[in-house]
Amino acid sequence: MPAFEPQDPEYEKRVRESFGRQQVMQAIGASLTRILPGTVEIVLPFRGDLTQQHGFLHAGIISTIADSACGYAAYSLMPADAAVLTIEYKVNFLSPAQGDRMVARARVTKPGRTVSVCTCDVFAVTNGRERIIATMLGTLMTVREREGLRG
Protein backbone atom coordinates (compact mmCIF):
# COMPACT_ATOMS: atom_id res chain seq x y z
CA MET A 1 0.00 0.00 0.00
CA PRO A 2 1.48 3.39 -0.94
CA ALA A 3 2.45 5.81 1.82
CA PHE A 4 0.81 9.20 1.45
CA GLU A 5 1.85 12.56 2.85
CA PRO A 6 -1.04 14.66 4.15
CA GLN A 7 -1.21 18.26 2.94
CA ASP A 8 -2.43 19.36 6.36
CA PRO A 9 -0.34 18.37 9.41
CA GLU A 10 -3.55 18.62 11.47
CA TYR A 11 -5.39 16.12 9.24
CA GLU A 12 -6.27 13.74 12.09
CA LYS A 13 -7.86 16.48 14.20
CA ARG A 14 -9.76 17.78 11.16
CA VAL A 15 -11.07 14.30 10.31
CA ARG A 16 -12.17 13.63 13.92
CA GLU A 17 -13.95 16.99 14.17
CA SER A 18 -15.78 16.44 10.89
CA PHE A 19 -16.76 12.90 11.88
CA GLY A 20 -18.12 14.29 15.16
CA ARG A 21 -20.48 16.53 13.17
CA GLN A 22 -21.91 13.60 11.18
CA GLN A 23 -25.19 13.02 12.93
CA VAL A 24 -25.88 9.86 10.94
CA MET A 25 -22.79 8.22 12.45
CA GLN A 26 -24.03 9.13 15.92
CA ALA A 27 -27.53 7.85 15.10
CA ILE A 28 -26.30 4.42 14.04
CA GLY A 29 -23.62 4.18 16.75
CA ALA A 30 -20.54 4.11 14.49
CA SER A 31 -17.13 5.23 15.72
CA LEU A 32 -13.93 6.31 14.04
CA THR A 33 -11.22 3.95 15.27
CA ARG A 34 -8.20 4.56 13.03
CA ILE A 35 -6.90 7.49 10.98
CA LEU A 36 -3.69 7.51 8.99
CA PRO A 37 -2.87 9.51 5.87
CA GLY A 38 -5.11 7.97 3.21
CA THR A 39 -6.56 5.30 5.53
CA VAL A 40 -9.59 5.29 7.84
CA GLU A 41 -11.39 2.64 9.88
CA ILE A 42 -14.96 2.91 11.14
CA VAL A 43 -16.52 0.35 13.51
CA LEU A 44 -20.23 -0.28 13.96
CA PRO A 45 -21.54 -2.62 16.66
CA PHE A 46 -24.35 -4.91 15.47
CA ARG A 47 -27.77 -3.51 16.37
CA GLY A 48 -31.09 -5.24 15.83
CA ASP A 49 -32.82 -1.97 15.00
CA LEU A 50 -30.56 -1.57 11.93
CA THR A 51 -31.44 -4.92 10.36
CA GLN A 52 -33.53 -5.85 7.37
CA GLN A 53 -36.30 -8.45 7.32
CA HIS A 54 -33.93 -11.46 7.57
CA GLY A 55 -32.06 -10.14 10.59
CA PHE A 56 -28.92 -9.05 8.72
CA LEU A 57 -27.58 -5.52 9.04
CA HIS A 58 -29.24 -3.56 6.24
CA ALA A 59 -27.22 -2.99 3.05
CA GLY A 60 -27.88 0.75 3.34
CA ILE A 61 -26.19 0.80 6.75
CA ILE A 62 -23.17 -1.09 5.40
CA SER A 63 -23.00 1.36 2.49
CA THR A 64 -23.20 4.27 4.90
CA ILE A 65 -20.17 3.26 6.95
CA ALA A 66 -18.18 2.33 3.82
CA ASP A 67 -19.01 5.66 2.15
CA SER A 68 -17.96 7.62 5.23
CA ALA A 69 -14.75 5.61 5.56
CA CYS A 70 -13.87 6.32 1.92
CA GLY A 71 -14.72 9.99 2.33
CA TYR A 72 -12.55 10.42 5.39
CA ALA A 73 -9.66 8.47 3.87
CA ALA A 74 -9.69 10.94 0.96
CA TYR A 75 -10.29 13.90 3.28
CA SER A 76 -7.20 13.01 5.32
CA LEU A 77 -5.05 13.89 2.29
CA MET A 78 -6.85 17.12 1.38
CA PRO A 79 -5.68 20.64 2.24
CA ALA A 80 -6.88 22.32 5.43
CA ASP A 81 -9.37 24.55 3.59
CA ALA A 82 -11.10 21.62 1.85
CA ALA A 83 -14.27 19.65 2.36
CA VAL A 84 -15.18 16.31 0.79
CA LEU A 85 -18.24 15.09 -1.08
CA THR A 86 -18.98 11.71 -2.63
CA ILE A 87 -19.42 11.79 -6.40
CA GLU A 88 -20.31 8.12 -6.80
CA TYR A 89 -19.74 4.69 -5.40
CA LYS A 90 -20.32 1.08 -6.25
CA VAL A 91 -20.64 -1.57 -3.61
CA ASN A 92 -20.61 -5.35 -3.90
CA PHE A 93 -22.20 -7.30 -1.07
CA LEU A 94 -20.33 -10.58 -0.63
CA SER A 95 -21.97 -12.14 2.45
CA PRO A 96 -24.82 -11.35 4.83
CA ALA A 97 -23.92 -8.71 7.41
CA GLN A 98 -24.12 -10.57 10.67
CA GLY A 99 -21.64 -10.55 13.51
CA ASP A 100 -20.74 -8.76 16.73
CA ARG A 101 -19.58 -5.68 14.85
CA MET A 102 -18.80 -4.40 11.35
CA VAL A 103 -15.45 -2.84 10.47
CA ALA A 104 -15.09 -0.62 7.39
CA ARG A 105 -11.47 -0.13 6.29
CA ALA A 106 -10.95 2.42 3.55
CA ARG A 107 -7.82 3.46 1.73
CA VAL A 108 -7.04 5.92 -1.00
CA THR A 109 -6.17 4.27 -4.28
CA LYS A 110 -5.52 7.46 -6.25
CA PRO A 111 -5.42 10.88 -4.58
CA GLY A 112 -6.15 13.90 -6.72
CA ARG A 113 -6.36 17.66 -6.50
CA THR A 114 -10.08 17.59 -7.40
CA VAL A 115 -11.09 13.92 -7.56
CA SER A 116 -9.81 10.98 -5.50
CA VAL A 117 -10.58 7.27 -5.75
CA CYS A 118 -10.85 5.02 -2.68
CA THR A 119 -11.64 1.43 -1.87
CA CYS A 120 -13.24 0.08 1.27
CA ASP A 121 -13.62 -3.46 2.54
CA VAL A 122 -16.23 -4.11 5.21
CA PHE A 123 -15.77 -7.04 7.56
CA ALA A 124 -18.15 -8.74 9.98
CA VAL A 125 -16.36 -9.66 13.20
CA THR A 126 -17.61 -12.57 15.29
CA ASN A 127 -15.63 -13.84 18.29
CA GLY A 128 -12.59 -11.94 17.02
CA ARG A 129 -12.68 -13.52 13.54
CA GLU A 130 -13.15 -11.30 10.49
CA ARG A 131 -15.13 -12.21 7.39
CA ILE A 132 -15.39 -9.84 4.42
CA ILE A 133 -18.99 -8.93 3.67
CA ALA A 134 -18.74 -6.00 1.24
CA THR A 135 -16.33 -4.04 -0.89
CA MET A 136 -16.78 -0.50 -2.21
CA LEU A 137 -15.13 1.61 -4.88
CA GLY A 138 -15.77 5.29 -4.31
CA THR A 139 -15.00 8.54 -6.07
CA LEU A 140 -14.72 11.64 -3.89
CA MET A 141 -14.50 15.32 -4.77
CA THR A 142 -12.44 18.00 -3.05
CA VAL A 143 -14.60 21.04 -2.36
CA ARG A 144 -13.09 24.31 -1.15
CA GLU A 145 -14.67 26.07 1.86
CA ARG A 146 -15.34 29.13 -0.28
CA GLU A 147 -17.86 26.99 -2.14
CA GLY A 148 -20.02 26.92 0.97
CA LEU A 149 -18.99 23.71 2.69
CA ARG A 150 -16.80 22.96 5.66
CA GLY A 151 -15.12 19.60 6.28
- The stretches in the chain having pLDDT less than 70 are 1-2, 145-151
Per-residue pLDDT at 38: 98
Phi/psi at 22 (nearest 5 deg)?
-80, 100
Per-residue pLDDT at 2: 66
Give domain limits for the chain: 11-147
Per-residue pLDDT at 3: 84
Per-residue pLDDT at 11: 97
- pLDDT tens per residue across span 54-95: 999 999 999 999 999 999 999 999 999 999 999 999 999 999
Q: In a 10 Å sphere around its CB, with 0-12 CB exposed, 13-18 middle and 19+ buried, how is residue 27 labelled?
A: exposed
Helix axis angle, 11-20 to 59-75, nearest 10°: 150
Mean pLDDT for the chain?
95
The CATH architecture of the domain made up of 11-147 is: Roll (3.10)
Per-residue pLDDT at 151: 60
**Residue 21, C-beta contacts closer than 8 angstroms, at least 6 positions apart:** none
